[in-house]
Amino acid sequence: MSTLILKNKFSKQDYEIIETYETGISLLGWETKSLRAKNAKLENAFCTISSRRNEIYLHNCYIAQYMNVKCETSRTRKLLMHKYEILRIKNKVDQLSLIIIPISLYWKNNHIKLEIALAKRLKKHDKREKIKELEAKRQMKSLIY
């Protein structure tokens, strides 16, 4: 059973998603309480893999300050994955020149999980084609009904 906390609105508009992964995320206590209240944003967030330790990190994820806790709201957070998964992702990123973006944050069995994706940025003409296809599908549905 999973409950959605928040979703990255721009992930499907601006990127072509190739593969998705589920990761854990290392949080502090006040961050968990703030996420329980759904006070966060994933809009400009991205992930990187450190070359030294083969660890994956989440950057620019904004989690609002909870109560009067003195904190850094958009700090770098470590993502929890198996080493072989990180190495597989790193090889795909290097070979295919992809980027890693967060898609959604959700609760799963009393743990907060982050869904990340290997993605390729869409160019303007690709976005226009995608919009034309969606409009054509909508017109076909309206003609049928």
Angstrom distance (rounded) from CA 128 to CA 126:
5
Write the pLDDT tens digit of every residue in 56-74. Answer: 999 999 998 888 877 888 8
Confidence (pLDDT) at 109: 92
Confidence (pLDDT) at 48: 94
Confidence (pLDDT) at 1: 65
Average pLDDT over residues 71-83: 90
Residue 25 pLDDT more than 70?
A: yes
Write the pLDDT tens digit of every residue in 126-140. Answer: 778 888 888 999 999
Residue 52 vs residue 80, higher pLDDT: 80
* Four-point Cα dihedral 94, 10, 15, 124, nearest 10: -130
Domains of the chain are 2-144 (2.40.280.10)
Q: Mean pLDDT in the chain?
A: 89
Q: What is this structure's pTM?
A: 0.81
Cβ atoms of residues 44 and 102 within 8 Å: no
